Structure 1
């Protein structure tokens, strides 16, 4: 019985779709610097369009403050780029690819101005 089960598992594994052979990716650049004091830099680039660059310094609250950018190819042939800062305020990416909230309607902006003015005047509601 175990032999039959093993044979069935082997048949399923052989019949499973195999990933297509992908061409090897050449590494064009791989630079790394660790200054030993918590600051660092690195840059990586491959011939398929993937690239990463970052530099970091120790932060005032024990965190690493990092500024960097990463790039990768999109299916249409263009290159996507995301720039970021990561520090005591969290991860802050910037890219035209990132979704943005819809603008507020004019009446909501007016209500927010009224509420801010009322707070400044000391008006509160319970």
Structure 2
């Protein structure tokens, strides 16, 4: 019986969440409350809204929304957050009938096509325009 209890205690200790020094949970000894410096919200009740907030550690969120043509909200906004190593990251976005489209230097982009690939695409488009097809 003592072995079963000891095994259960060991399992609980191993399964306990492990926190990094950059993530602090309210029960973690390094946790501290982050004050909200600004919190402005406006909802007109007709689908138009706006909100802005900022915290003391540099997190900031801003958005403006309007009713969309298909019953959705069309939103333009941005959010900023601090990096653990210093500096900030920022993402601007649009969310509407065409989906969510973020833009930021933080978002990876594909490598540019090599010149020979661009030339082949141009040739294929020219052939398609002239009606040339291949079987």
Above 0.5 in TM-score?
yes
Q: Report the equivalent of 1:47.
A: 56
Offset from partner CA, 1:50-86 (integer Å, 9 cap, x none): 1100011111122211000000001221011100111
Match for residue 115 of structure 2 among 97, 103, 106: 106
For 2:128 and 2:13, locate their aligned partners in 1 and report how far apart those are by CA, in whole Å: 70
Secondary structure of the residue that 1:116 maps to in structure 2? helix
Q: Taking structure 1 as the reference length, what is the TM-score of the superposition? A: 0.86
Q: Taking structure 2 as the reference length, what is the TM-score of the superposition? A: 0.80
Match for residue 124 of structure 2 among 92, 115, 126: 115
C-alpha distance 76-108 of structure 1, shift in aligned 2 (>3 A): same
User: Is 1:77 matched with 2:111?
Assistant: no
> How many residues were matched structurally?
125
Gaps of 5+ in 1: none
Offset from partner CA, 1:6-38 (integer Å, 9 cap, x none): 676457657856733311110111111111111
Gaps of 5+ in 2: 19-26
For 2:39 and 2:6, locate their aligned partners in 1 and report how far apart those are by CA, in whole Å: 45
User: Is 1:34 matched with 2:43?
Assistant: yes
For 2:119 and 2:13, locate their aligned partners in 1 and report how far apart those are by CA, in whole Å: 66
Secondary structure of the residue that 1:123 maps to in structure 2? coil
Secondary structure of the residue that 1:82 maps to in structure 2? strand
